[in-house]
């Protein structure tokens, strides 16, 4: 099969917002009036970001979903993607499943695949995403003010729990693993939430490297500190069942430093509290207030008994 047949068969679909898509030397798009383009890229490398034998359907979904998560964090509406992929060989069943997963995510969020590149090499997937946001309304990391509430969507830690299970560091029940593995392999980017937050949040980030690291980016770019409360960090029942007191440190690690959650962390003035609760109900998505921003340039973490955790001693400091 030629490279062109491969691209035609697996990566060419009808488009929604595109003049000229896959097939020419470049794609052609027209951004809407009064909109800024939000552009981002994320690369997934075999052995680093996923296991070589990862399920191709889920890999296709995830490679687009992690990019959509960046759009969500900016309050941008995702519209166009390109896909550059290095493949060790032409494996038709693998490609069929990968592209099915990729386009399932593209269809769910109305994104056009408009081009890319295909080459032979160690399995590497690089997606670039482009979205639109009304000029001047994107939610930046640098926009947080003092005394704002810090919010987190969904639940944190399940993806890290699944990964720890796969690495043999702990053993989940079948039930727990099924739930957590779905969070790890098929994340749901919070695009609708991101769009709604344009009028509500002053700063936002998606949690891909762990809460402390990613909240840390908001704080350093906004020149702020924060007080956050472990007891308020939303998590599934599985984290409780799995991690009893002797694994307290591990539980903290999942909540504070676990990666791959792809939830949003955002800050908003306290006056917006009721509006955010209302939004949570209308989106049927938990939104939890986990603390407040401060002007003391430190991130203070309150433990389950309201003791102040020494995040440095606990080994979390380098995540900031």
Using N-to-C axis directions, what is the helix angle for 158-166 and 248-257, rounded to 10°? 120
Burial class (CB in 10 A: 0-12, 13-18, 19+), 179: middle
Query: 26 or 33: whose CB is closer to Mg ion?
Result: 26
Determine which residue in the list 3, 5, 107, 117 makes contact with Mg ion, applying CB under 5 A: 117
Considering only 11-19, 21-29, 111-119, 163-171, which stretch makes contact with Mg ion by CB under 5 A?
Answer: 111-119
What is the binding site for ligand ADP (CB under 6 A)? Answer: 7, 11, 22-25, 83, 85, 113, 115-118
- The residue number whose beta carbon is nearest to Mg ion equals 117
Judge whether 18 and 112 are in contact, CB under 8 Å: yes
For 116, residues 6+ apart whose C-beta sits below 8 A from its C-beta are 11, 22, 82, 83, 84, 85
Residue 115 contacts which entry, Mg ion, ligand ADP, none (Cβ below 5-8 A, type-dependent)? ligand ADP
Burial class (CB in 10 A: 0-12, 13-18, 19+), 75: buried
Query: 69 or 99: whose CB is closer to ligand ADP?
Result: 99
Residue 7 contacts which entry, Mg ion, ligand ADP, none (Cβ below 5-8 A, type-dependent)? ligand ADP
Considering only 3-11, 113-121, 131-139, 242-250, which stretch makes contact with Mg ion by CB under 5 A?
Answer: 113-121
Considering only 30-38, 116-124, 183-191, 307-315, which stretch makes contact with Mg ion by CB under 5 A?
Answer: 116-124
Residue of 295, 252, 289, 250 lying closest to 272 (CA atoms): 289
- The residue number whose beta carbon is nearest to ligand ADP equals 115
Q: Could you tell me which residues are beta bridge partners of residue 112?
A: 80
Q: How far apart are CA 127 and CA 43, in angstroms?
A: 6
Residue 116 contacts which entry, Mg ion, ligand ADP, none (Cβ below 5-8 A, type-dependent)? ligand ADP
Judge whether 281 and 184 are in contact, CB under 8 Å: no
Query: 85 or 152: whose CB is closer to Mg ion?
Result: 85
Residue 60 contacts which entry, ligand ADP, Mg ion, none (Cβ below 5-8 A, type-dependent)? none
Query: 18 or 267: whose CB is closer to ligand ADP?
Result: 18
Query: 28 or 146: whose CB is closer to Mg ion?
Result: 28
Query: 18 or 188: whose CB is closer to ligand ADP?
Result: 18
Distance (Å) of CA 70 to CA 36, 41, 176, 286, 314: 15, 9, 28, 19, 29
The continuous run of DSSP H or E covering 229 comes out as: strand 225-229
Residues that bind Mg ion (CB under 5 A): 117
């Amino acid at each position: 099969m030629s490279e062109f047949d491969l691209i035609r068969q697996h990566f060419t679909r009808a488009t929604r917002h595109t003049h000229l898509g896959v097939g020419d030397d470049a794609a052609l798009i027209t951004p809407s009036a009064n909109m800024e383009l939000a552009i981002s890229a994320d690369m997934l490398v075999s052995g680093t970001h996923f296991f070589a034998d990862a399920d191709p359907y889920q890999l296709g979904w995830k490679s687009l979903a992690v990019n959509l998560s960046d759009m969500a964090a900016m309050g941008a509406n995702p519209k166009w993607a390109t896909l550059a992929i290095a493949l060790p060989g032409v494996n038709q069943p693998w490609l069929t499943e990968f592209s099915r997963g990729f386009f399932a995510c593209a269809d769910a969020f109305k994104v056009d695949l408009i081009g890319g590149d295909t080459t032979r090499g160690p399995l590497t997937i690089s997606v670039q995403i482009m979205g639109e946001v009304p000029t001047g309304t994107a939610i930046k990391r640098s926009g947080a003010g003092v005394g704002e509430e810090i919010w987190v969507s969904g639940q944190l830690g399940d993806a890290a729990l699944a990964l720890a299970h796969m690495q043999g560091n702990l053993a989940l029940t079948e039930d727990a693993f099924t739930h957590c593995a779905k969070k790890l392999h098929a994340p749901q980017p919070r695009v609708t939430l991101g769009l709604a937050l344009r009028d509500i949040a002053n700063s936002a980030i998606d949690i891909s490297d762990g809460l402390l690291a990613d909240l840390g980016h908001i704080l350093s770019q906004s020149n702020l500190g924060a007080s956050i409360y472990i007891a308020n960090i939303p998590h599934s029942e599985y984290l409780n069942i799995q991690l009893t007191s002797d694994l307290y440190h591990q539980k903290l690690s999942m909540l504070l430093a676990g990666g791959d959650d792809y939830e949003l962390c955002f800050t908003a003035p306290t006056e917006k509290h009721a509006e955010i609760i209302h939004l949570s109900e209308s989106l049927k998505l938990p939104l939890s207030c986990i603390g407040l921003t401060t002007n003391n340039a430190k991130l203070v973490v309150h433990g389950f008994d309201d003791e102040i955790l020494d995040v440095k001693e606990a080994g979390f400091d380098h995540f900031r």
